Amino acid sequence: MKRMGILLWAALGLSGSPAFAIQTADGTTYFQQVPRLLKTAVSPRQTHTRGATLQITVQVPQEAGEPLQSLVIDQSQNLEVLRINSERITAVLGESWHSEALPVPIQSEIRGSELHIQFLPALPPGTIVTLGLRPISTPTTSGAYLYGVTALARGSQPYPHFLGYGRVVFADGGNGGRNRLWHLHR
């Protein structure tokens, strides 16, 4: 894992000196410029479908002043919480998944409706990262689903910066159309 971190730093063309921390007197770490939630997408979009991937893309601006240590994805606003195995969460550098995408080492944990993803090492300013969340199945209920994204800078007491909600729409159609009939007869 340590070797993967060294390779990641080398691939990003970084020197050994990290960005300067922005800390208050009580030790709270902040971003100088907050990361941005660039996009959220899911494929396939059908309800009750296995093999889907929810992608969440975040940009750490060059002027962030501090590396991105972790993200928290909150599903509590939704009708259904996606059941995700923490070992099936992946991250890659850039805005898309392709065969040449450089994987980013992470450690993930699920706490209720929240997914906690820690980057190993923290991602430096100027980085774009895309998370791949693979639920056991998409929701059984169609509609718009919101995923709250919070970024935390490197440090022992990082301030949680809420980046906004990523929105995806799941449509009836998975499972051979049986969901549509089930919804009509509730």
**pLDDT of 85 strictly over 60:** yes
**pLDDT of 21 strictly over 90:** no
AA letter at 122: A
**pLDDT of 16 strictly over 50:** no
Residues 68-79: pLDDT tens digits? 999 999 999 998
Q: Which of 80, 55, 53 is nearest to 140 (CA)?
A: 80
Residues 120-163: pLDDT tens digits? 999 999 999 999 999 999 999 999 999 999 999 999 999 999 99
Domains recognised in the chain with CATH numbers = 2-184 (2.60.40.3550)
- Does the CA dihedral 117-121-126-132 come out positive or negative? negative
pTM of the model: 0.81
pLDDT at 56: 96
